């Protein structure tokens, strides 16, 4: 007979694993990706493939030759970082810029802190914001959404709805177009419906909980709503804010990133509210037309503090004395 295995309890496991979670998120991103492919055509394909491949290759190289450990590219997290990075890029971005973004995302955003789980900031957003600051022109010229577009670098450009609002030009797309994603913008952020579909899938699969997305969206809605009520001519209605500028992509896929979000539900609510407030502040009063990336990164920085000071409710904790 084989030697018996002895281990402390429990002896069964849910079967959950890192790669299962990562691939579930990737699957949830598929609808938004398909919409991106439809509206931005060949450019979206080139950008996303470049981003994903370079993220995987960079992670492999760093783990193999710098850390000299076993590589973990099969767990899907590098692929996810790459795809999320691509979702935040315009589809007419030159390949060399994408590769730089991937290097920053994986090398600085993730690996310099010790790899998966140790990164304080969302790697894809680190890469994205780095590119946004370094190449502001290329990063803010979005191609016009044309179904099955075959042009890549020379695509006709269009402004995002938020830029139109910010700088007061052009006609805003119809609500229906905003929902489907028929507007200028980054590859993955345009289609609200596809992103919500993915979000519902993640909620059902229990990969994410509702706390962060809902608190973030509600905060944004309320904040912009109040401002809209005060001065409708200056501030557009809150539903436009919800549907544009990658807010849904950020709320469902970026802010809920495991490693960079707080560890308990109360802190997660605070975190979501914080992101919502900062996003609206940047959008309406800041220099950039959209601020989800910055808002998430800022709240990523606050996460350790939230973990330290906002503790989960304990079973049977003594009630605080009312004086």
* Nearest CB to other proteins, comparing residues 207 and 282: 207
* Cβ closest to other proteins, residue 314 vs residue 322: 314
Nearest in space to 36 (alpha carbons), one of 206, 230, 174, 193: 193
Whole-angstrom Cα distance, residue 100 to residue 55? Answer: 10
Classify residue 88 as exposed, middle or buried by CB count within 10 Å of its CB (0-12, 13-18, 19+).
buried
Q: Closest approach of Cβ 317 to other proteins, in Å?
A: 6
Of 225, 78, 247, nearest to 160 by C-alpha is 247
Peptide bond into 81 cis (omega under 30): no
Look-up: residue for tokens 């950020």? 250
Least separation in angstroms between CB 81 and other proteins: 13
CB of 259 to other proteins, least distance (A): 5
Q: Closest distance between other proteins and the C-beta of residue 210, in Å?
A: 12
90 in Cβ contact with 141 (< 8 Å): yes
Q: Which is nearer to other proteins, 64 or 311 (CB)?
A: 311
DSSP code, position 104: I
Residue number, 91 or 300, with CB nearest to other proteins: 300
**In the complex, minimum distance from the CB of residue 131 to other proteins, in angstroms, rounded to a whole number:** 25
- Choose between 74 and 175: whose C-beta lies nearer to other proteins: 74
Interface residue list for other proteins (CB under 8 A): 1-14, 16-18, 20-21, 72, 75, 114-118, 209, 258-265, 268, 307, 311-318
């Amino acid at each position: 007979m084989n030697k018996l295995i002895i281990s402390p309890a429990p002896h069964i496991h849910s079967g959950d694993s890192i790669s299962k979670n990562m691939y579930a998120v990737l699957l949830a991103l598929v609808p938004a990706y398909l919409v991106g492919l439809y509206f931005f055509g060949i450019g979206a394909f080139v950008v996303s493939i470049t981003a994903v491949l370079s993220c995987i290759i960079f992670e492999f190289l760093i783990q193999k030759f710098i850390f000299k450990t076993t590589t973990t590219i099969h767990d899907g997290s590098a692929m996810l970082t790459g795809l999320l990075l691509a979702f935040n890029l315009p589809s007419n971005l030159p390949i060399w810029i994408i590769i730089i973004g991937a290097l920053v995302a994986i090398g600085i955003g993730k690996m310099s802190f010790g790899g998966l789980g140790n990164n304080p900031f969302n790697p894809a957003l680190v890469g994205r914001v780095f590119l946004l600051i370094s190449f502001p022109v290329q990063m803010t010229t979005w191609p016009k959404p044309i179904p099955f577009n075959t042009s890549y670098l020379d695509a006709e450009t269009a402004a995002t709805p938020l830029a139109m609002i910010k700088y007061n030009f052009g006609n805003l797309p119809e609500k229906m177009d905003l929902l489907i994603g028929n507007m200028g913008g980054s590859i993955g952020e345009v289609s609200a419906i596809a992103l919500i579909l993915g979000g519902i899938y993640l909620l059902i699969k229990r990969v994410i909980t509702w706390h962060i997305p809902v608190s973030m969206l509600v905060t944004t809605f309320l904040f912009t709503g109040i401002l809209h009520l005060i001065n409708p001519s200056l501030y557009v209605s809150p539903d436009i804010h919800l549907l544009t500028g990658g807010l849904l992509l950020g709320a469902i896929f970026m802010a809920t990133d495991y490693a960079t979000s707080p560890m308990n539900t109360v802190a997660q609510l605070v975190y979501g509210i914080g992101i919502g407030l900062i996003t609206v502040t940047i959008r309406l009063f800041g220099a950039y037309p959209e601020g989800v990336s910055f808002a998430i990164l800022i709240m990523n920085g606050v996460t350790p503090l939230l973990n330290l000071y906002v503790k989960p409710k304990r079973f049977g904790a003594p009630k605080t004395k009312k004086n």
